[in-house]
């Protein structure tokens, strides 16, 4: 029960890494706000967790919807201890010049601006409570960029730098800020990352990971659980590689 009596908001929690985090956090005693643009998916995950979770339909690119999401957490559970900025978006692997402006804008809105929106909403709450944890899902793409995902890579590099800067500025308020850098995993975005999903491409990708497999939602959830728990009370500003050795 490492998160007993803690309240966590997890965005992008209707599937993939976010679903893994929401369920793992609940297992460890947290009350969880399952937030996602996919309302039905969020409701499914919250129902599977049980009474300690609520579902909130939220577009994290919208400041007003992020504020409504945080209000729902406060209104239902009374506080916000952990903010997980996990929702993400990418363009399909390919020529950087072929990415249209609307897609570029959506990548920056979901992967970058959403972190700003959530900070505006939760930092004052956490400061009044005496502290808190913010965890951003970045990517190995922000540490070791590869061709074909240029604008996505750049957004994740931004998330890593923002994490470190937030950590320094918010440390006096006892708010820890870290980020996860997962390698691609068995999620709905895998086909976009690879360009297409074929057994040959999967084998090629796995071969680039020393531990020989893709990441799983549980891998990411366990890393997030530690960073969000009091066991990591002296850890802030870290970009934790959860990548089977990919970045070595």
Question: What is the pLDDT at residue 29?
Answer: 98
Question: What is the pLDDT at residue 98?
Answer: 96
| Nearest CA-CA partner of 225 in 65, 16, 22 | 22
Residue spans of the domains in the chain: they are 7-240
Task: Choose, from 71, 89, 116, 152, the residue flagged as catalytic.
Answer: 152
> Can you tell me the distance from the alpha carbon of 50 to that of 189, in angstroms, rounded to the nearest whole number?
27
> Can you tell me the distance from the alpha carbon of 207 to that of 80, in angstroms, rounded to the nearest whole number?
41
- Sign of the four-CA dihedral 184, 188, 194, 197: positive
State which fold the 7-240 domain adopts: Rossmann fold (3.40.50)
* pTM (2 d.p.): 0.95
> Can you tell me the distance from the alpha carbon of 166 to that of 178, in angstroms, rounded to the nearest whole number?
9
Residue 203 contacts residue 142 (beta carbons within 8 Å): no
Number of Cβ within 10 Å of residue 5's Cβ equals 11
What six digits make up the tokens of 141?
């793409």
Residue 29 carries which DSSP code?
Answer: T
The length of the chain, given as a count of residues: 248
Active site residue 152: yes
Query: What confidence tens digit (pLDDT) does each residue in 56-111 have?
Result: 999 999 999 999 999 999 999 999 999 999 999 999 899 999 999 999 999 999 99
Burial status of residue 223 (CB atoms within 10 A of its CB: 0-12, 13-18, 19 or more): buried
Question: What is the pLDDT at residue 196?
Answer: 72
Whole-number Cα distances in Å, 168 to 6, 78, 102: 23, 27, 33
């Amino acid at each position: 029960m490492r998160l007993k009596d803690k309240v966590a908001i997890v965005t992008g929690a209707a599937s993939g890494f976010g679903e893994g985090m929401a369920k793992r956090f609940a297992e460890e005693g947290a009350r969880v706000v399952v937030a996602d643009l996919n309302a039905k998916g969020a409701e499914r995950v919250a129902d599977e967790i049980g009474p300690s979770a609520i579902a909130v339909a939220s577009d994290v690119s919208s400041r007003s919807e992020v504020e409504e999401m945080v209000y729902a957490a406060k209104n239902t559970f009374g506080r916000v201890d952990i903010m997980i900025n996990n929702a993400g978006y990418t363009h399909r692997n390919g020529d950087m010049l072929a990415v249209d402006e609307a897609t570029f804008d959506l990548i920056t809105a979901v992967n970058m601006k959403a972190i700003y929106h959530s900070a505006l909403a939760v930092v004052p709450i956490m400061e009044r409570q005496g502290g808190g944890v913010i965890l951003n899902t970045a990517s190995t793409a922000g540490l070791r960029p590869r061709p074909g995902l240029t604008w996505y890579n750049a957004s994740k590099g931004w998330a890593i730098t923002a994490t470190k800067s937030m950590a320094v500025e918010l440390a006096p308020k006892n708010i820890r800020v870290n980020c996860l850098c997962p390698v691609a995993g068995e999620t709905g975005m895998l086909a976009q990352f690879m360009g297409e999903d074929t057994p040959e491409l999967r084998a090629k990708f796995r071969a680039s990971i020393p531990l020989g497999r893709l990441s799983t939602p549980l891998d990411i959830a366990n890393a997030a659980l530690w960073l969000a728990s009091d066991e990591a009370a002296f850890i802030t500003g870290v970009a934790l590689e959860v990548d089977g050795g990919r970045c070595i």
